[in-house]
Structure 1
Amino acid sequence: MEETLRIRRADSRDTNTIAGFNASMAQETENKALDKDATLKGAAYLFENPGYGFYLIAECNGETAGSLMVTYEWSDWRNKFYWWVQSVYIKPEFRRQGIFRAMYENLTAQAKEAGNVCGLRLYVEKENKRAQATYAELGMTPSHYLMYETDF
């Protein structure tokens, strides 16, 4: 049977799936259990406030295989936006099958078509060498910036 892969913009019907993916990612990558109500509200917030970004969904043979979130950063240096790729999650049984690559290529095409995007950015855990290799295979390069943060 030939597999069909479809990449689409998520909508509010995907809220539960995205929240579940976010919880699974936090558990896998940081051994952190997220509050279910907070993840649901967090996913729903983007649908209620599309000026902050959007989600992409990958479907393989009609089953949701993965998702990613895009948020916007305005660059006054370039007078355009960076699209930040965040919350990337591919279900384990769909990994290493080119699904993220398809999502990335779809996103790249959308960014170029938008006309007001100067680039894509993402951050990755220092120890996540597999993800780093994937991003490098797609032509992404490490930034010369370091990330600092303050949590509240």
Structure 2
Amino acid sequence: MKSHNEEELIALGTRIGQQLQAGDVLVLTGDLGAGKTTLTKGIALGLEIQQMIKSPTYTIVREYEGRLPLYHLDVYRIGDDPDSIDLDDFLYGDGVTVIEWGELLEASLLHDFLTIVIEKTSFGRQLSLQAHGKRSQMLVEEIEHGTD
């Protein structure tokens, strides 16, 4: 999937957010400034969240209420110490969890999640989806084919 500008990245996020269900976990990866928080803004719109979405870099976790709760985590600063936050409070519960820099977590902490890789290109952004489990595979199909 391609995005030429911020508006298209938000629209893509909105499409993703509309497909999400309680318990879904998304891991966003990409370089600094790749668009992880911008994509999350779109995901929040798809979840009917009215609040302004801000990067959780310094707070580690931000929570938002919408059609489903959104738990927006940035684990870059916790590095090798995932025990410094109680991930169980945010994973696979009643809401949707979006984890920026989630590739830094041990894979054993997550059991069914969707990785979204965001790469900067000469035209804008290239996104690739990688499913890790049955639910995330269904989610990839829903996102790519635009079905409900």
Same fold (TM over 0.5): no
Structure with max Cα Rg: 1
| TM-score, normalisation: structure 1 | 0.31
Give the number of the structure whose residues are more often helix, by fraction. 1
